[in-house]
Amino acid sequence: MKKLSFVIPSFNSVAWLSHAIESCQKQDYANTEIIVVDDGSTDTTPILMKFLCDKDKRISYIRLPKNVGRSNARNIGNDTAKGDYICVLDADDVSYPNRAKLTVNKLEKADFVHGSFDFMDVIGSKLDTHYAEVFSLDRAMKERLNFMVHSSVAYTKEIARQFQYPEGELADLGLDDWSQQLAIASSGAKIDFILPVIGAYRDHGEGVSKKRDSAKVIAAKEKFLESMKVPA
């Protein structure tokens, strides 16, 4: 049975973290591990994690001494993961019990998958649903959007080795996942999607995407896409 690793980067997210971890514990697939990368939190995350790790040996806790940013935290978690496959999950989101099994089934024939996801408010009430569809690189390049919810994404360990999340401006603007996904797609990797809803994204208005400068986002996207062009 293939092993699946949930990698959860977390920074001052103690209010949501236990819900994210619990959702991973309730998966309908047995061979899983849960890796929490604490990106220098100043809240009570270490206390919570000691309690949870003592109760469940599937949980690994990496405490970074200072904040290194979400890209670095994700890469550290991916490097640590022992699984054949890696499921992305942000600390304020949740995975539904069907996610792991459906993900493993897809990754047996694909390199990268993304799935349908609910949107919920700060207290967990459903707002809307994003339904995953066939990924089109041409459409993504044209519209500058990948139409993926990052906490629905999973990929093979080999993809994680080859395509780390970028640092610098792309990470600062919350474009690290977007650029990583385009790099993976452009490499010719096989991308598939999961139609059933496999989790929920919590919209609480505090994420990077809610506060970033739109003009800087547009400029950074154009710069990245220009760098991807192959010389004639």
Tokens for 119, please give them: 């949107």
User: For the domain that residue 45 is a member of, what is the CATH number?
Assistant: 3.90.550.10
CA separation for the pair 46, 158 (Å, rounded): 30
pLDDT digits (tens, 9 = 90+) for 161-214: 999 999 999 999 999 999 999 999 999 999 999 999 999 999 876 666 666 789
pLDDT digits over 35-76, tens only?
999 999 999 999 999 999 999 999 999 999 999 999 999 999
Q: Name the one residue in this structure whose structure tokens are 């700060």.
A: 122
pLDDT at 230 over 60: no
Tell me if 171 is assigned to some domain: no
Global pTM value: 0.94
Q: How many residues does the chain have?
A: 232
Share of the chain above pLDDT 90, in %: 91
Please report which confidence band the pLDDT of residue 16 belongs to, taking 50, 70 and 90 as the band edges. Answer: very high
The phi, psi pair for 95, rounded to 5°, reads -105, 135
| Pairing verdict, β 94-95 and 191-202 | antiparallel
Of the candidates 103, 112, 82, 126, the residue with the CA atom closest to the CA atom of residue 29:
103
71 in any annotated domain: yes
Beta-bridged to residue 94, according to DSSP, are: 200
Percent of the chain predicted with pLDDT > 70: 96
Position 226 in a domain: no
Look at residue 186 and tell me if it is in a domain: yes
Is-contact 8 34, C-beta < 8 A?
yes
Determine, yes or no, domain membership for 75.
Answer: yes
pLDDT at residue 219 is higher than 70: yes
pLDDT confidence bin for 232, thresholds 50/70/90:
very low
Contact 219, 143 (CB under 8 A): no
Instruction: Tell me how far apart the alpha carbons of residues 74 and 67 are, in angstroms, rounded to a whole number.
Output: 12
Q: Which domain holds residue 101?
A: 4-165+181-204
Structural domain count, the chain: 1
Contacts of 81 (CB under 8 A, 6+ apart): 5, 7, 33, 35, 157, 160
Query: Is position 118 within any domain?
Result: yes
The per-residue pLDDT of the chain, averaged, comes to 94
What confidence category does residue 228 fall into, taking pLDDT thresholds of 50, 70 and 90? Answer: confident
Evaluate whether residue 210 is within a structural domain: no
